[in-house]
Amino acid sequence: MSEREAIGKARRIVVKAGSSSLTTPQGTIDANRIDALVDVLAARRADGAEIVFVSSGAIAAGLGPLGLTRRPRDLATQQAAASVGQGLLFARYTSSFARYGVTVGQVLLTADDMIRRSHHRNAQRTLEQLITLGILPIVNENDTVATDEIRFGDNDRLAALVAHLTRADAVVLLSDVDALYTGDPRRPGVRRIADVHGPADLADVELGGSGRVGTGGMVTKVEAARIAGVPVVLTNAASAAHALAGDEVGTLFHPADARRMSTRDLWLAHATTGQGRVTLDAGAVDAVVRRRKSLLPAGVTGVEGDFAAGDPVDLCDPGGRVVARGLVHYDASEIPELMGRSTRWLARELGAEYEREIIHRDHLVVLTEQ
């Protein structure tokens, strides 16, 4: 069975729709296009598939009601727009799916829900239970409380992580462009790419930025496809039915072997940015990279940046190359005093709470093999 055929027969599918496919240029929900997409999802569901729908559009749908004509730059206004828009969007989905007797459940995730083990299991359980109960989950980032530091920012990678969480068989990304092209399709002379098997197929592709209301453009879609671990089809909302049927539309990204990484590690590696850098001596690099140990204060030789405990930070070898990323247990300002010290010394001199690692191995992902 070809991968296209497998998508046509997939049991569980994550479908993600971008803001531009769901909202009008005036910053309101586009009821007609939402209904048309719901028609397609309901039909595939009636065919026996379990659909998990990742819907963007909260910020874009909140612009009109807030009297804004373009996506705001500042976080507080984005949060306000998302708060208004998410409610409107979900109300529309509720009534649109009700036409088919389908009940929908809203799942708003924060990045923390992917990394903290307890939250991660919780999100997984919630999604699984919704599906078991025959409810169609509609997922978005909880933009109203997300902050710039720890935030997915784009729903393409969120969709890939949801595919891992729900053990989906395929992902369909619906955008305002019908496929990946060799360059920005707003420019002449570009060619559609039908299949992507690996990085070599992308070597000459110019991955441009987003459209008017989207986030991330092609870069985040390619990244999502890389980490999904299952076939990913990229096309536009008008071709959704064909994509779900396994027809030759859009671009098919064939899966790489990403299944071996946990969702949490994938998130750390691909969906976070280091908020600072911690430099390791050679022994610590070996411990962290090769032996997969926690990072102890004794192996740290330098610290840069202004991060807080819980933030993702990059770990660098003595030459300055990033070798791992992890969630740090200390504020940046605390580390100079701990550097080079044994945990026993720290516990004796500073108190028992300083006996802990700089980064625990469970909160650490290696980014390069040594």
Ligand X SMILES: N[C@@H](CCC(=O)OP(=O)(O)O)C(=O)O
Ligand Y SMILES: Nc1ncnc2c1ncn2[C@@H]1O[C@H](COP(=O)(O)OP(=O)(O)O)[C@@H](O)[C@H]1O
Residues touching ligand X: how many (CB under 6 A)?
Answer: 17
Residue 218 annotated as lining a ligand binding site: yes
β-pair type (12-17, 50-55): parallel
Q: Which is nearer to ligand X, 109 or 323 (CB)?
A: 109
Phi-psi region of 250 (alpha: psi -120 to 50; beta: other; left: phi over 0): left
Q: Which is nearer to ligand Y, 220 or 279 (CB)?
A: 220
Residue 216 annotated as lining a ligand binding site: yes
Residue 7 backbone phi and psi in degrees, to 5 = -65, -40
Q: Which stretch binds ligand X (CB under 6 A): 95-103, 136-144, 186-194, 307-315?
A: 136-144
186 binds ligand Y (CB under 6 A): yes
Rounded-to-integer distance, Cα 163 and Cα 297, Å:
36
Residue 132 annotated as lining a ligand binding site: no
Q: Which stretch binds ligand Y (CB under 6 A): 85-93, 130-138, 184-192, 238-246?
A: 184-192
245 binds ligand X (CB under 6 A): no
217 binds ligand Y (CB under 6 A): yes
Residue 57: contacted member of ligand Y, ligand X, none (CB under 5 to 8 Å, by partner type): ligand X
Rounded-to-integer distance, Cα 301 and Cα 295, Å:
12
Rounded-to-integer distance, Cα 285 and Cα 312, Å:
17
223 binds ligand X (CB under 6 A): no
65 binds ligand Y (CB under 6 A): no
Which alpha helices (H) appear in the chain, and where do they start and end? 3-9, 31-46, 58-63, 75-98, 112-115, 117-132, 155-165, 217-228, 240-245, 263-270, 282-285, 335-338, 343-350
Rounded-to-integer distance, Cα 57 and Cα 34, Å:
11
Rounded-to-integer distance, Cα 291 and Cα 361, Å:
10
18 binds ligand Y (CB under 6 A): yes
312 binds ligand X (CB under 6 A): no
Chain Cα centroid distance, residue 65: 27
Which alpha helices (H) appear in 18-65, and where do they start and end? 31-46, 58-63
173 binds ligand X (CB under 6 A): no
215 binds ligand Y (CB under 6 A): yes
Q: Which is nearer to ligand Y, 142 or 236 (CB)?
A: 236
169 binds ligand X (CB under 6 A): no
Q: Which residues pair with 108 in a beta bridge?
A: 140
Residue 205: contacted member of ligand Y, ligand X, none (CB under 5 to 8 Å, by partner type): ligand Y
Task: Return the half-sphere exposure (C-beta side, CA atoms, 13 A cut-off) of residue 293.
Answer: 12
305 binds ligand Y (CB under 6 A): no
Residue 59: contacted member of ligand X, ligand Y, none (CB under 5 to 8 Å, by partner type): ligand X
Residue 237 backbone phi and psi in degrees, to 5 = -60, -35
237 binds ligand X (CB under 6 A): no
Rounded-to-integer distance, Cα 188 and Cα 88, Å:
37
112 binds ligand Y (CB under 6 A): no
Phi-psi region of 177 (alpha: psi -120 to 50; beta: other; left: phi over 0): beta
Residue 184: contacted member of ligand Y, ligand X, none (CB under 5 to 8 Å, by partner type): ligand Y
Nearest C-alpha neighbor of 246 from the set 235, 260, 261: 235
Q: Which stretch binds ligand X (CB under 6 A): 92-100, 126-134, 214-222, 362-370?
A: 214-222
Length of the chain equals 370
Q: Which is nearer to ligand X, 19 or 239 (CB)?
A: 19
Q: Which of 3, 143, 169, 178 binds ligand X (CB under 6 A)?
A: 143
Contacts with ligand X, residue ranges (CB under 6 A) = 18-19, 56-60, 82, 140-141, 143, 154-155, 210, 214-216
Contacts with ligand Y, residue ranges (CB under 6 A) = 18-20, 175-177, 180-181, 183-186, 205-208, 210-211, 214-218
Annotated binding residues: 16, 56, 143, 155, 175-176, 215-221
